[in-house]
Every structure is written in C-alpha cells, then in structure tokens.
Amino acid sequence: MVKLARRMDTLPPYLFAALDERRRAVEARGIEVISLGIGDPDLPSIPAAVEAVQREAARAANHRYPRYDGLPRFREALARHYQRRFGVTIDAERETLTVIGSKEGLAHLIWAYIEPGDVVLAPDPAYPVYAAHTGLAGGELHLLPLRAERGFLPDLAAIPEDVARRAKLLFLNYPNNPTGATCDLAFLAEAVEYCRRHDILLVHDAAYVEMTLEGEPAHSALEVEGAKDVTIEFYSLSKPFNMTGWRLGAAVGNKEAVAALGRVKNNTDSGQWNAIQYAGAAALDNNPEVFFAQMNATYRLRRDRLFQGLDRLGWKATPPKATFYVWAPVPGGDDQAFAAQLLDAGVVVVPGSGYGANGTGYVRLCLTVSEYDIDRVLERLDGLRPSPFSR
C-alpha cells in the first residue's frame, strides 16, 4: 500500500460525510430519518435561474470550456447586485472572480497565501474548511473563540501581538455558520482596521448575507470605507437562491487577492459551466430581493414553529436572527452523545464539537425541512425516554 502524504494526518474525516455515513447506518436498521443536519435548502431554486439554464444549455457555444476568470455576464451582474444591495462599487473585470461554490474558493485562497509557519486567524466554532486547508497547506491555526456572552463575535483585541505579526489571513463569517449570529457594520469596520494595522487579508465568508430573518439586513464587509484595500469577500448563490447543487459563487474585493486566487484556480480547475453562470446572472438581475423575502419568511415561520415546540419541551435556546441554523445548548452538555440519542430516534442534528472545541455542548439544527416534518421532529423529541429536557 502506497504511503499517504504526511499532510493527510492533519485532515480529519469531513464532518458532513461522516454524518451521512452514520445516517445511512441508522436507515439500514429500518428507521426513517428526518435530517436537520446539512444546510441544504429543500425548496426549488429561483425560477429565473432554472429558466436561464434550460435555455443556455441548448446553446452549442456553452458546450465548450468557459473563461478561467468567469463569464463577464455573471460577474457584471454581481457587480450590479453589490451596487444595488450594499451601495458598493465593484470593478467586475479586476475585482470579481467566479468560483465553483464559495467552499472551493475559500479553500484555494488559503493555498495562495499560506506556507508552513504562517498563521491563519479563524473563528471557533466555524465552517470546517478554514481549518482543514490551513492544515493541508502547513499553516498554523490560531483560533478565535465565539462565545454566547460576546454575541458569538471574536475578541480581536485578545489576539497576542506576536501571533498577529505572523498572521496572513483572518476569516470571518457573518451571518454566522453554525451559530446564526449577526454582526453590525461597526464590527466589520473594526476587523478591517485590525487587518490594515497588522497587514492581514480579511476573508469574509458572506454565504448567508441575504438570509436575515429579523432586524437590520446583514452587511457586506466591503461596505466599510477602504475595505477593498485589505478584504476579499465570498458571495454564494447556494443558500439564498436555493442553488446548493449548482455550485456557483464569486470572490469579490481586493484585486491582488482576486488575482492570486485566480492563479491557483487556473492551475487547478477549468471554471464553472457557462450555462450555470448565465443562470446566476439571471438570478441576480431579476429582482432577487423578492425571492429573498419569500425564502426568509418561510424560514422565519419554521423557526417560530420549532421554538414553540422546544419551549414546550423545556429545551432552552435562542432563536437565530439570521441564517437557517439553530445553535442550541445541549441538555447535559455532551453534544456527541445527545446527537447519537437523537439519531437513534430518527432525527439528525450536527454535534457542535464538529465545528471546533468551542462548539462543544451545542448542536446545530437546520430549518431546511417542512413545518410538517418539524412537527414530526418535535414528536420524536417528546418521545425520548428518559427525557433529556427539564419542563
């Protein structure tokens, strides 16, 4: 057997792949499973995208390789959306790059910047890709705890100066996965200033920026004056447009960082299919705010229905103001054991420790099932014996 590269020792099994394997094992025992696990919308993609991809798929010109940096039509539509939605002016040619879903872009950006000994500042808990590719690239991860008492915002002032001097990247993600937390523009301005002061690239993962359920709409980090000097942001069509399977997103912002990411991608992939990029442009240009409002209203109804049931059970958690994630403290504190207990009852949730040490004691639930299935989940929780909840 050929020996694996040592870098593979840094790479744990991917959280959701492992979760899916456990789910299949339970289903093999004849148990019907309702999944509140992976954040995969259950509703159809935005109609404008579906109509466009059907039309563009038939065009022979779209059957060839796409441009490496992405279809101008898509990137120009993205720039128009940033101007309308955030009031940010974007140079579509130099300050945007199509990515095959923001996950791919986030991972490849790390390879453009990180060498052995370099530091990456990343939140904990967090989307696992930040840590996984930092490890693969030989970088050193410095974790920024996200705690409830701080509204799940990192304390940038607590980062040691010697760590800051060695850091190249700072990852932020608001609205946040897995906590559902939001931040205001003042915090993003603080992060921009911190990165300017320490010569760090701010990487804002804005996958959920269109998914505000209540309160002030979420912000782009590029709204901060001068942010493009030190910031690259990843915009994703996956969650707000119900397009997870389409694999379409974009890197936006600092032109040097966009170009560096492009060089890695040019040597790695051949770009996203033009028909999908045309579909993304149609989604962005056809009044998506109406679609966002409808989707967010659906998730708000589901959230409220779930929390009415959790309150009856005695499971205390805070309703999220954004995203479709519920970050709930676990009765008894053992998130792995609690998730296993729920899986045996036919309900998939994600143990918080899978997102990092500071996720221990929480589970993440997704609002990506119908209200009917939410009621069925609540029935199964109510049927747990012995009950883990105090009423």
Angle CA 317–318–324, to nearest 5 = 105
Q: Side-chain half-sphere of 22: how many Cα atoms within 13 Å?
A: 23
Q: Residue 6: CB partners within 8 Å, gap ≥ 6? A: none
- pLDDT at residue number 29: 85
Q: Express each pLDDT in 320-337 by its tens digit.
A: 999 999 999 999 899 999
Query: Is 250 found in the same domain as 203?
Result: yes
> What percent of the chain has a predicted confidence (pLDDT) above 90?
90
Assess if residue 250 is contained within a domain. yes
Q: Residue 26: CB partners within 8 Å, gap ≥ 6? A: 33, 343, 344, 346
For residue 185, CA distances in Å to 128, 169, 225 come to: 25, 20, 11
Return the exposure string of 269-282: e unless at least 16 CB atoms fall within 10 Å of the residue's CB, then b.
eebbbbbbbbbbbb
pTM equals: 0.96
Query: Is 249 found in the same domain as 375?
Result: no
Query: Is 240 found in the same domain as 157?
Result: yes
- pLDDT at residue number 19: 73
Q: Does 356 score more than 70 pLDDT?
A: yes
Torsions phi, psi of 215, nearest 5?
85, -165
Assess if residue 11 is contained within a domain. yes
AA letter at 324: F
Number of domains in the chain: 2
What residues are paired with 308 via a beta bridge? Answer: none
Mean pLDDT of 150-178: 98
Of 227, 258, 286, at which residue does a domain stop? Answer: 286
Of 269, 286, 303, at which residue does a domain stop? Answer: 286
Angle CA 243–206–45, to nearest 5 = 15
Residue 91's domain comprises: 47-286
Assess if residue 389 is contained within a domain. no
Which range is least confidently modeled, 9-13, 106-110, 301-305? 9-13
Distance separating alpha carbons of residues 144 and 141, to the nearest angstrom: 10
Mean pLDDT of 42-50: 97
Run of H or E including 325: strand 325-329
Query: Is 354 found in the same domain as 238?
Result: no
Query: Is 228 found in the same domain as 165?
Result: yes
Query: Is 265 found in the same domain as 183?
Result: yes
Q: CATH code at 225?
A: 3.40.640.10
Q: Does 391 score more than 70 pLDDT?
A: no
Of 256, 286, 316, at which residue does a domain stop? Answer: 286
